[in-house]
Amino acid sequence: MKLSTRGRYGLKAMFDLALNYGEGPISLTSIAERQAISVNYLEQLISPLRKALLVESVRGAQGGYMLAKAPAEITVGVILTTLEGPLAPTDCVVIDGDEDICDHSNYCVTKVIYEKIYESITSVVNSISLQHMIDDYKVNQESQIISSICECK
Amino acid sequence: MKLSTRGRYGLKAMFDLALNYGEGPISLTSIAERQAISVNYLEQLISPLRKALLVESVRGAQGGYMLAKAPAEITVGVILTTLEGPLAPTDCVVIDGDEDICDHSNYCVTKVIYEKIYESITSVVNSISLQHMIDDYKVNQESQIISSICECK
DNA sequence: TGATTTCTTAGTAAATAACTAGGGATTAAA
DNA sequence: TTTAATCCCTAGTTATTTACTAAGAAATCA
């Protein structure tokens, strides 16, 4: 039930872009440095985020990436699902009716549990935006608490 | 963010034992047959459940396993965490202060998100007992809906 | 023109998941 | 007292996934 580095690194990178929102394109090299992630790997993560229209890119020298929308319009949920796929504990709660994995799709005692888990995760991540993270970050900076983003691998 | 077969198979096996609660020891062979799981693999899953005092075993011929407590006293949460470890999206929300992974343990914008996810999952699984599953199962059987447990791999 | 950057794909090493296999210990029943 | 059925334990194996590394093409600014 762990998130992979794709989701975690991707979220860090998006938060980094959110902190620099409105300041033109930010290069992956600088994000990678600040967030301690390999540039090559980060390139692979930003690609689906761009295709999902969450970031825009500017090619060439002095190019880089920027959020495609305001931080308030981008949720943690959309970032994580773009990078990790549905945040579901099993495949059966996600795949739709026709192509169902399981014969007991109409009713299954364990499936209802997995659906509840899925809903609760979705509800949490969809309720948090990048703007919430920024606000949170700044409040804690002001109150002298060392406010940062983790270096966890 | 997927559960592994350990958790899913283990939950199926425990539900099977719950349906047979009070009827003496149930052999792993019969559980494995009903739930379509390899006996050898199931043995590896039942072992931690026994060590966690969730099931009791009777050795020898006509032996088997039975729940160590009433189905109402055993939650889905304790079963899943016994088999999967903490249902947390990252290690950093679980490991305690001293041996912290991350320098920014005192405050981290992403960690608070992972903590919220962790809490919401925990809250769901801890609120559902095997008895709830049995009740659910029986209600649906009575109302002629094919009520079963999934065969999902 | 050259430096800087995005973009894309292929490959790879390590870790994890999902078992398989086999043998010892225990006990009920024949 | 033997046999069959069961739990119990550990080691090994295979397949999949993760987490990158590598390298080069395309675009653009100075």
Residue B68, CA distances (Å) to A69, B22, B37, B58, B85 in order = 54, 10, 22, 12, 21
Taking 90 as the threshold, does the pLDDT of residue A8 lie above it?
yes
Q: Which of B107, B112, B116, B138 to mutate to test the interface with A (most CBs of A within 10 A)?
A: B107
> For the residues B6-30, what does the mean pLDDT come to?
97
Report pTM. 0.94
Mean pLDDT for chain B overall: 91
**Local confidence band at A100 (pLDDT 50, 70, 90 cut-offs):** low
Strands (E), B47-103: 55-58, 64-67
Nucleotides of C under 7 A from a protein CB: 2-10, 17-22, 25-29
Mean pLDDT of chain A: 91
pLDDT digit string, tens, across residues A17-41: 999 999 999 999 999 999 999 999 9
Query: Has residue B87 got a pLDDT over 80?
Result: yes
Partners of A111 on chain B (C-beta within 8 Å) are 150
Are A28 and A65 spatial neighbours (Cβ–Cβ below 8 Å)? yes
What's the pLDDT at A101? 60
CB contact under 8 A, B87 and A120: no
Residue A122 C-alpha, separation from nearest chain B C-alpha, in angstroms: 9
What was the pLDDT predicted at B143?
76
Q: What is the rounded average pLDDT of the residues A52-72?
A: 98
End-to-end CA, chain B = 16
Q: Is the pLDDT of residue B26 over 90?
A: yes
Give me the pLDDT at residue B14, please. 98
Directed axis angle between helix A39-51 and helix A76-84, to 10°?
110
User: Nearest by CB to A152, which of B15, B102, B128?
Assistant: B102
Of the pLDDT bands very low, low, confident and very high (cuts 50, 70, 90), residue A143 is confident
Closest CA to the C1' of D22: that residue is: A40
Task: Specify the pLDDT at position B141.
Answer: 80
